[in-house]
Amino acid sequence: MSSAKSAAPTSGTPYGTLPSASPMPQRKPVSLPRLQEMRERGEKITMLTAYDATFAAVADAAGVECILVGDSLGMVCQGLSSTAGVTLETMRYHTESVVRGLQRVQATAWVLGDLPFGSYHESKEQALRSAAVLMHAGAHMVKLEGGGWTAETVRFLVERGIPVCAHLGLTPQTVHALGGYRVQGRGDAAGLQLKRHALELQDAGAAMLVLEMVPAALSLEITHQLKTCHTIGIGAGKGTAGQVLVMHDMLGINLGKNPKFVRNFMEGQASVREAMAAYVAAVKDGSFPDDALHAW
């Protein structure tokens, strides 16, 4: 299957090579209707995290459709031991940086801003205020973690015109409550609860759902049951509508040990852009993720 986006040319700048700022008439901005179309024709959606202007522009030029300014930046940029310490102000700063970089090269990517821990837990009104900060910074969509209680918050945001991506399975902001970075949704009861939460979130209007570290069979089932909410997997097998990876992981520059479901796309590539393009190609042709790398 071919990519919805075609890679842009690059041009030198005093600070290195950035994707060209010349207009790319054949590239249309990624939007919710375009993502729905991709889903309907069976084309996989690609997502990568980025936290600054340059990497975001390179990811866009490599053909990545969705850029997640993830709160994983707490771990990969700030050196924190979990994402729980990331603040809304930090997310605003990085979202703005990513959006400026994308605007500079007339990029087409869809940008998700991650609502950090504590910025949407108090009330729906608090969630709206926090989401507005990221939307003012240029995000097209916000992401929040958890199921059950979050459905009401998702509905509140969606009704007010804010596209929302939900996040189930391993939710890193609550890693301490989960007892570590463990697979979620194993066993009948846990699987049923995850499926119920996914349906509730779709019903509340979530247009995307990240499924992190859940059994491949379960994420496939959830993907089939959701029609207007696109599942984006990370360590969740190949059955989801799209895939996401933390950029540092897929470039093989993780400070710790890479999760076993991650592939180092830098291997055999001459540049970051080529590595990202290889990721896009592998997701589109179904060769990533490799289900053999999932013991769950």
- 284 is an annotated ligand-binding site residue: no
- 71 is an annotated ligand-binding site residue: yes
The single-letter DSSP state of residue 4 is S
Q: Is 249 in the site for ligand KIV (CB under 6 A)?
A: no
The single-letter DSSP state of residue 115 is P
Report the nearest approach of ligand KIV to the CB of residue 47 (Å).
Answer: 8
Q: In this complex, which beta carbon is closest to ligand KIV, that of residue 8 or of residue 210? A: 210
Amino acid at 132: A
Q: Is 3 in the site for ligand KIV (CB under 6 A)?
A: no
Distance (Å, rounded) from C-alpha 10 to C-alpha 158?
37
Q: Considering 65, 96, 200, 212, which one is annotated as catalytic?
A: 212
107, 210, 216, 280: which one contacts ligand KIV (CB under 6 A)? Answer: 210
Q: Is 165 in the site for ligand KIV (CB under 6 A)?
A: no
**In the block, residue with structure tokens 């030198």:** 12
- 290 is an annotated ligand-binding site residue: no
- 81 is an annotated ligand-binding site residue: no
> Are the CB atoms for 286 and 238 separated by under 8 Å?
yes
Q: How many CB atoms are closer than 10 A to CB 92?
A: 20
Within the chain, where are the H helices? 32-40, 53-61, 73-76, 88-104, 124-136, 150-159, 175-178, 188-204, 216-225, 247-250, 272-284
Q: Is 119 in the site for ligand KIV (CB under 6 A)?
A: no
Q: In this complex, which beta carbon is closest to ligand KIV, that of residue 167 or of residue 284? A: 167
Annotation marks residue 212 as catalytic? yes
The single-letter DSSP state of residue 233 is E
Hey, what's the torsion of the CAs at 264, 265, 271, 272, to 10 degrees?
-80
Piece of 68-76, 198-206, 223-231, 277-285 that binds ligand KIV (CB under 6 A): 68-76
Report the nearest approach of ligand KIV to the CB of residue 250 (Å).
Answer: 11
Q: Is 246 in the site for ligand KIV (CB under 6 A)?
A: yes
Report the nearest approach of ligand KIV to the CB of residue 61 (Å).
Answer: 20
End-to-end CA distance of the chain: 27
* Residue with smallest beta-carbon separation from ligand KIV: 70
The binding site for ligand KIV (CB under 6 A) comprises 49, 68, 70-72, 114, 167, 210, 212, 234, 244, 246
Catalytic residues: 212
